[in-house]
Amino acid sequence: MKPPPFEYFDPRTIREAVSLLREHEGEAKILAGGQSLLPLLNMRLARPEVLVDLNKVDGLDYIREADGWLAIGAMTRQRDVERSELVKSRNPLLHAAILSIGHPQIRNRGTVGGTLAHADPAADVVATAVALGAEVQAVGPEGERTIKAEDFFVTALTTALEPTEILREARFPALPRGSGWSFMDVARRHGDFALAGAAVTLTLGAGGNCSGASIVVFGVTPTPLKASEAEQLLIGEKPGEKLFEEAGRKASEAIDEPMADIHASAEFRQHLAKVLTRRALAEAAARARGMA
C-alpha cells in the first residue's frame, strides 16, 4: 500500500522543527528513523497532514557522559548505541536491550528518540528506560523540560510530550557498583515484538544481601510495569531461588489487566511475567557476584 498524501518539511534546526509543529499543531507527525511510522503510513493506520523530518537537524546524534549519566541524542541510531564501547561498559543493560531490537537492518535506521516517543508496550528501550530511572529532555515553544521515564509513558503509543514538543535527548544512569543486570523476553520469532519481557537490575551490599533492585515487566500492559512490591521484597534479603520465585509471583500479581491478542492470551502473558522475572533476577544476582 501507499501512504496517504501529506506535506513534507525537512528543517535544519530544532527551533525550526518546533516552529513547524506549532504552526501545524495536531496535524503533524515527526519522522525520525521511520521504522514505526512508515509502516503505519503505508497501512493507512496513521494519516498526518504534515511530516516533519528530523534527519537534517544538527546536533541530535551523539553518545556522551554528562554528570554521571549517559546522554544520547534523539536521532542517534540504535546501531551506534549497539557498537558504543561507552554504553557497553557503563550500562550493559541498555546495550542488551538495544541488541534485542528487531534485526541489524532495523537498528541501522531506528533511533533512540524514535522508539521512546513511539512508546510501544513491547519496546525494549522503553522498558529499559523505566527500569533504569532514565530521563528524557523535551523542547517546545515554551523552552525545555525534563521528564522522568516513569512519567513519560502514559499508555500504549502515548507519551507526555505535547503536540508541539520534540524529544531531544535521553539520559540513562550508569549502573552502580556491585550491580548485576538481566534483560529477557519471549517472542514468537527472533526480531518479533516481545510477548512479555523483564528488565532487571540487582545491587548486592557488602554482606551479599540485596541493597537495591529494579524490576520492570513489559509487553504485558500498555506501559512498562514497575514491580515495586517485588522490589521491596528483595531489599535486605539474601539472594536465592525461593526469594526470586516469590518476587516473580508478586510481579505477576501486580498486573491487573494483562493484554491479550492473537499471539498470546492474557493468562500466558501473566505467567511469562512471573517466570521471566524469576529467571532475570537469578541472572542479575549471578552477574552481581561476578559469576556470569
Predicted pLDDT at 80? 98
The enclosing domain of 192 has a CATH number of: 3.30.390.50
Task: Report the Cα 74 to chain-centroid distance in Å.
Answer: 13
Specify whether 75 is located in the same domain as 11.
no
Q: Domain ends where: 173, 191, 219?
A: 173
Q: Domain ends where: 173, 194, 226?
A: 173
The CA distance from 119 to 121, in Å, is 6
pLDDT mean values, one per 10 residues, the chain (292 residues): 93 98 97 96 96 98 95 98 97 97 97 98 98 98 98 98 98 93 96 96 95 98 98 98 98 98 97 98 96 60
Angle ∠(136,91,55) on CA atoms, nearest 5: 45
Specify whether 208 is located in the same domain as 167.
no
Specify whether 218 is located in the same domain as 148.
no
Q: What is the DSSP string of 202-251?
A: EEE-TTSSEEEEEEEEESSSSS-EE-HHHHHHHTTSPP-HHHHHHHHHHH
Structural domain includes residue 57: no
Number of domains forming the structure of the chain: 3
195 lies in which domain range? 179-288
Structural domain includes residue 2: no
Specify whether 69 is located in the same domain as 120.
yes
The enclosing domain of 121 has a CATH number of: 3.30.465.10
Structural domain includes residue 271: yes
Predicted pLDDT at 163? 97
Predicted pLDDT at 176? 87
Specify whether 199 is located in the same domain as 266.
yes
The CA distance from 112 to 120, in Å, is 13
Specify whether 102 is located in the same domain as 186.
no
pTM over 0.85: yes
Torsion angle, alpha carbons of 226, 159, 61, 58, to 10: -160
DSSP letter for 77, please. B
